[in-house]
Chain A
Amino acid sequence: MKSLLRSYGRGLTALFVVAVLAWALVLILLPQLTMLERALVSPKRSLDSSLALTLRRDAATCINVLQGYLDPAPEAAPQTLAVPSPGGMAVPSMGGMAVPSMGGATATGALRPYILQCDRADTHKRLVSDPERTLYLDEVFSLPRLAVRETDPIPKQIETAAQLQTIGADLYTRLLAEEATRSPYTLANFGTLLAPRLIPIPEDRRAAEAASIENRLYTLVGARYQADGQIYERIGLTILLRTLAFAVAVTVLALFVCYPIAYRVALASRPEQVVWLMLGLIIPYAIVELMRIYAWTTIIDNQGVINSILIWLGAITEPIPFNRYPATVFAVIAYTYVLFMVFPMLNVMSTLDRNQIEAARDLGARTWRVHTRIVIPHAKPGIAVGCIATFMLAAGAFSVPRIISRGLQSEWFSQTIYNKFFESENSNAGAAYSLAYTFICFGIVAAFMYATRTRLKDFAQVNR
């Protein structure tokens, strides 16, 4: 701080400090804290109070719609069918799909067509706050078991609906007050990461499925199991493990590709060659990342370059579906982030005195020993930084798996997080997932640094 004051004076130093604080607060601390809060709070719609609110609203809508059927002109009624209940849409109905049947009006002898909201106006609703257990609203909160029955006369239905509306409203007020006093924090969002899903697999294909290495590994770590004659998989966990494994593999691949390149550029080339090698490395990165990835799709598509050439040569008759192979995603990610591996290594390697390599060779060391004893120990900080950067980028890769796989293969965890936020609109689970992911990646990086004895000060040396 003192040296800052001396070099920049009071005004600039103050500006600098303010900028750093603002950066730390706005870009690091606040987002993480909001994430943390979101991750620890149940989604609103899974709260029991929101179920009570839905009941009230559904009943109200039901009454409204039923009013139309009291009138002598029932033809006007079906228009109201499409009225969505404002609170209702978001609630996935637990018992079967609540698809409104547009046509079948009075086939069952009912006095009115099917009305979604009337169907849902029922105290026997399953609670969603605890996905592990099957609990019902009426049983938990000791409500009368009451439902609007299609077969009742319309006025009776309206009366029931009115009762339900009152019950819902009362319960809502009560639960809201209760929830306000109770701590809202829960780890349930993190728990959904481990939630098992039934995987429907026909009996005859189970053995083949179970034999795959991936599934065997999942079984080994308990991410896949058999219960009640059905296969269950903890999908969140399997995707997480798969993504991490791929990210590690991408890092290893990038390391093996980049080490010779970095060595060549830094230590084994004449200056005029280095210029060309560097250009070759940098030019692809002057192209927007998305363009680079799209370029790959033109190569690997069914009508892409590789398939066209292979078909033209007569090597294959059907195109190879590269989009379906994880290896493709894998290779493209490695390509996309290779430079983040090359440059830290290059920077460190170029500080190695070439005389040391010559001295080692002169003392009788063969190429392998020169690398293991001289070059790699020297380049270790750069290798570690490159590995960390590549791993983090690969683990967070989103555009590559999305563009390359186009849904034709299992998603990456980054896509799962995206889908939680923006597709299934469960930002609380999304926050929990992304936080968990952040900490897991952090842990892996920390373990890696410990294992390779990389210290934080080594990062500073990379650009020395």
Chain B
Amino acid sequence: MRGKDVVLSRVGITYPNGFTAVHPTDVTVKAGEFFSILGPSGCGKTTILRAVSGFVQPTEGRVLIGGEDQAGKPPNQRPTALIFQNLALFPLMSVRENVAFGLEARGMPRRQREARADELLSLVALADQAAKKPTELSGGQRQRVAIARALAVEPAVLLLDEPLSALDLKLRQHMRAELRAIQREVGVTFIYITHDQSEALTMSDRIAVMNAGRIEQVGTGDEVYANPASAFAASFVGEVNTLPGKVDAVADGHVRVATALGGLTCRNPQSLAPGADCLLFVRPEALLPVVGPAPNRIETRLLRRDLEGPFVSLHLQSVAGGVPLVMQQPNRGGIEAQDGMMAVAFDPAEALALPPGALARTGVEEAA
């Protein structure tokens, strides 16, 4: 099996009711790459996937797979295989029949296709479950059956639509590693759709961050995490403290921002000019407790301490302006507030200012 590259050239999708699910988009997925499209639900990521698999025809632009234009090709003629969010295993067929289905559809004789199915089942370590019905398997096993079924048709591109979302956390973490290993082994291009940023960060070679029908940033996990290109990318990928403010002064790649907490210094990747409105983003792990004077020192009140296991989340409120802040510390003890007061600071290199834009909605807001 060899992966092929996927090129979306000005692909835009507008539904008949006038809703534009995907604005004209250019993306290139390299052959053999594990590529994730990360975005909140309703951002159009599944629509892009369906356009690649052929269930949706783009209203404009072209989808090229291995350099070949896919316009007008139905799903069963494309070199892609789709793994559905609910897996869509065929419940009335045995696991072996499920895996062999694509070969059956291609007219392969029974003996041959069953041998091939067994081969694939041993690839996903399910050789002994071949005769069972999918409902008799555990969630993780079903997952692997779906992968084997998709790989059976030897696709050049495997499309995965949040297949891990139904699993519990432990299994999900285990399956991430397994998916990555399978992808390395078979060398097929994976396009993986998810709204879970940790899934995207752990598995992907590259990530596209998507919001409201637009891809906001494409890059490796490290790039996206450390250097988000937009306010949305910054707020959606990982946790972040967002401080609105105004650019005060600019000097050699850094910027001084006037916020409710006072003036704070950080990086200026998009060369904001003085006087511009901006958002200052600082990751919770970049905040450190300080005792003496330090740049970007903030006096805070400790509101709550959440034990997360390997680290603790401290919910703070700044004395000036009463702005809520979150910081994370390794769980080693010893960081105790004095009379509920705590001074924190961050390295200007570990924070950045970006022009204002749409932010990812946090869980708190969603619940409200």
| Chain A residues at the B interface, C-beta cutoff of 8 Å | 353, 355-356, 358-366, 369, 373-374, 377-378
Contacts and interface: CB of A to CB of B under 8 A. Distances in A.
B88 A364 contact: no
A358 B105 contact: no
B80 interface: yes
A358 B102 contact: no
Interface in B47-104: 53-55, 74-76, 80-82, 84-86, 88, 90, 92-93, 101-102, 104
B184 interface: no
A451 to B, nearest CB: 18
B106 interface: yes
B200 interface: no
Nearest to A358: B55
B90 A374 contact: yes
Given A361-B74, A361-B75, A361-B76, A366 B105 contact: yes
A267 to B, nearest CB: 13
B92 A358 contact: no
Contacts of B93: 373
B88 A355 contact: yes
Nearest to B55: A358
Contacts of B55: 358, 362
Contacts of B102: 363-365
Contact of B76 (A355, A363, A373, A374): A363
B153 interface: yes
- Report whether over half of chain B's contact residues are helix, strand or loop; otherwise say mixed: mixed
A364 B76 contact: yes
Interface of B: 53-55, 74-76, 80-82, 84-86, 88, 90, 92-93, 101-102, 104-106, 149-150, 152-153
A94 B88 CA distance: 74
B82 A359 contact: yes
A358 B152 CA distance: 16
B80 A362 contact: yes
A359 B98 CA distance: 11
B116 to A, nearest CB: 13
Contacts of A360: 90, 101, 105
For the complex of A and B, 7 pairs with smallest distance between CB atoms: A363-B102, A355-B88, A359-B88, A365-B105, A364-B105, A364-B76, A362-B75
Contacts of A366: 76, 105
Contacts of A373: 90, 93, 101, 104
A353 B150 CA distance: 18
18 contacts: A353-B86, A355-B85, A355-B88, A358-B75, A358-B82, A358-B88, A359-B84, A360-B105, A361-B74, A361-B75, A362-B53, A362-B54, A362-B80, A363-B152, A364-B102, A366-B76, A369-B104, A369-B105
Given A353-B86, A363-B101, A373-B101, A378 B80 contact: no
A362 B158 CA distance: 11
A359 B145 CA distance: 13
Contacts of A363: 76, 81, 101-102, 105, 149-150, 152-153
B105 A355 contact: no
Given A362-B54, A363-B152, 9 more contacts: A355-B84, A360-B101, A361-B74, A362-B75, A362-B80, A363-B102, A364-B102, A364-B106, A366-B105
Contacts of A353: 86, 88
A365 B106 CA distance: 8
A150 to B, nearest CB: 82
A81 to B, nearest CB: 78
Nearest to A352: B91
A77 to B, nearest CB: 85
A365 B81 CA distance: 12
Nearest to B86: A355
Nearest to A356: B88
A365 B101 contact: yes
Contacts of A358: 55, 75, 82, 84, 88
B105 to A, nearest CB: 4
Nearest to B149: A363
Q: Which of B76, B92, B149 has the most CB of A within 10 A?
A: B76
B76 A365 contact: yes
Contacts of B81: 362-363
A360 B54 CA distance: 13
A106 to B, nearest CB: 87
A362 B86 contact: no
A364 B149 CA distance: 12
Nearest to A365: B105
A362 B101 contact: no
Contacts of B88: 353, 355-356, 358-359
Contacts of B106: 364
A190 B80 CA distance: 66
Contacts of B86: 353, 355
A208 B206 CA distance: 82
A373 to B, nearest CB: 7
A351 to B, nearest CB: 11
A362 B104 CA distance: 13
A302 B102 CA distance: 56
Nearest to B16: A270
Nearest to A363: B102
Contacts of B84: 355, 358-359
A360 B101 CA distance: 8
Nearest to B54: A362
A359 to B, nearest CB: 4
Contacts of A355: 84-86, 88
Contacts of A356: 88, 90
A365 B75 CA distance: 9
A268 B88 CA distance: 17
A377 B92 contact: yes
B92 A362 contact: no
Contacts of A374: 90
Q: Which of B81, B90, B92 has the most CB of A within 10 A?
A: B90
A362 B76 contact: yes
A366 B106 CA distance: 10
Contacts of A361: 74-76
Nearest to B97: A373
Contacts of A369: 104-105
A360 B92 CA distance: 13
